[in-house]
Each structure stands twice: as structure tokens, then as C-alpha cells.
Amino acid sequence: MESQKTFSISQLASSASTESSASFYQSHSAKSPGGRSLSTFLLSTAGSRLPHSTLSLATGTVSPDDINVDQVWLDMKSRVLPLYNGDGLKAPVEELNEQLCLLLRSLPPTQLLDQSMDVFNEGAMVLFTKLIQCTQDDVGKVLPMLVEMWSFFFGHVLTSLEGVFLPLQLEFRRLSVSLRSQALTAFRDEVVVVMMSRIQDALLWSKNNNALDQDLFARLQHMLTLLAETKDEKQSYIKGLLQQLKQ
């Protein structure tokens, strides 16, 4: 985490509207060997894995027997986490898909699912640190900065993650496992839940000072409604915030 780095959430959020749709379109429009779209190519090969000849990384064509899976995963992780700092992916989505497909030939999908969740949690903790830096002791900044952070995450980070982890998602397409939901849960747990008391105080302050305008209300409601969809022991926390917002 970068405790000294200045972070402009509003700047990142403003870039999300132009970058997110383009990034998501490119990730699903990238061409695989044979000319098909990447998503179609992965759908057609899911379950049987990709052949060795299609899985070329930056250094050339490799097979599962020739790689260090830990090193490949760490390399992929280092290219994905900068998303959360607003720096974008450090490799084309198609190349990251190839790395992930290579890992899927060597590791169980369930193991990669757990490792992906670790990435989502680590990235969300970066967002939390930046949010704390921006709000500090000013309760009036908490809600505006929180929704700016949410807009950045939802409009830019989340869509990029969906493109990157598409090969893994396809492994679970017949099960009720969603990497999108996993990333949302990480944001909920590492950003919103850990800030519960500050958000509650900010809601009370905003209502007492007529600072909760329609736009802020709508964006908070959108965030909390989506985050409340995960049914676990922390769901009640989000529902409590949603109820306080509507009172």
C-alpha cells in the first residue's frame, strides 16, 4: 500500500466513463488464433484446455511442464493489481487470458479461484487506504469520496477484471460461482464494512446538514443495493446502511 502517494478519486472516476467501456470491448473483441473473438474461442475450448501452440507468453511458446506456476501467477498478479491504483492493466487482456489458461492446465480451478479472491481483497485494501487518505478527519468528505471510489471501481476496475478472469469464469459456468460477485464482495468487506462506523456518522452528518442531494443519494443506493446481494453474515451490515440511507 502506498501511504504517501496522492490519490485523486474524482480524476479516476472521470476516466472510468471513457476507459471502462473501451477496455471491456477490447477484452472481448481481441482475436484469438483462428480469427474468432477471444470469448468465443475460450467458450469453444473450455473444459478441454487450450493446446500448447496457442499459449505463447511474452518469451515464446511454452507448455505446463516448462513453467514455474508460482512465477507465472505472481507475474499475472503484478500486471492486474495496478488497476486499483488507476494505472490500468500492465499487459493486454488477451495476454493475461493466455497466462490464466496456462495456469488452468497446471492448477485446479478451485485453487485459482481462491488465489483470484486474494487479488480482489488485496486490491480492495488499496482502495480503502486511498479512501482514508482522502477523507481523513473530514466527515463531510466520506460519502462523496466513497461514491467516487465506487464509480471508479464499478465502471473501470470491475469490467477489466471480468475480461481478465474470463477463462476462469468459464470453468465455473455451470455452477453458481461468479468472479464478478467475488470482486464485489471484496469491495464490500475491505472498503465498506471496515468503514461502517464512519459511513454511519457521515450519513447522519449529511442529513443534519442537508448535504445528501439526489445524486449522492442515488449513487449510494446503487452501491449498497448491489453489495447487499451477497447472502452471508455480513449482508446485514449493508442492509443496515441501506435502511439508514432511506430513513
pLDDT tens, position by position, 165-199: 999 999 998 888 999 999 999 999 999 999 999 99
Q: What is the pLDDT of residue 91?
A: 95
Distance in angstroms (rounded) separating the CA atoms of residues 191 and 69: 30
Q: What total number of domains does the chain contain?
A: 1
- Residue 159 covered by a domain: yes
Minimal CA–CA distance to 223: which of 139, 132, 151? 151
Owning domain of residue 86:
9-246
56 versus 76: which is more confidently predicted? 76
Distance in angstroms (rounded) separating the CA atoms of residues 67 and 52: 12
The answer, yes or no, to whether residue 32 has pLDDT greater than 50, is no
The answer, yes or no, to whether residue 35 has pLDDT greater than 50, is no
Distance in angstroms (rounded) separating the CA atoms of residues 236 and 247: 16
3-state secondary structure 31-95: ECCCCCEHHHHHHHHCCCCCCHHHCEECCEECCHHHCCHHHHHHHHHHHHHHHHHCCCCCCCHHH
Contact (Cβ atoms closer than 8 angstroms) between residue 227 and residue 184: yes
Q: Which grid coordinates are listed for 79?
A: 500486471
- pLDDT by residue (tens digit) across 89-148? 999 999 999 999 999 999 999 999 999 999 999 999 999 999 999 888 889 999 999 999
- Residue 2 covered by a domain: no
Minimal CA–CA distance to 94: which of 154, 167, 17? 167
- Residue 1 covered by a domain: no
Q: How confident is the model at residue 3 (pLDDT cuts 50, 70, 90)?
A: very low
Q: What is the pLDDT of residue 135?
A: 87
- Residue 229 covered by a domain: yes
Please state, for a pLDDT cut of 90, what percent of the chain lies above it: 67
Contact (Cβ atoms closer than 8 angstroms) between residue 161 and residue 183: yes
The identity of residue 73, as a single letter, is W
- Residue 187 covered by a domain: yes
Distance spanning both ends of the chain, measured CA to CA: 36
For all residues of the chain together, what is the average pLDDT? Answer: 79
- Residue 146 covered by a domain: yes
Using DSSP, state whether 210 is helix, strand or coil.
coil
- Residue 111 covered by a domain: yes
The answer, yes or no, to whether residue 52 has pLDDT greater than 50, is no
The answer, yes or no, to whether residue 58 has pLDDT greater than 90, is no
- Residue 227 covered by a domain: yes
- pLDDT by residue (tens digit) across 216-241? 999 999 999 999 998 899 999 999 99
Distance in angstroms (rounded) separating the CA atoms of residues 188 and 214: 23
Q: How confident is the model at residue 64 (pLDDT cuts 50, 70, 90)?
A: low
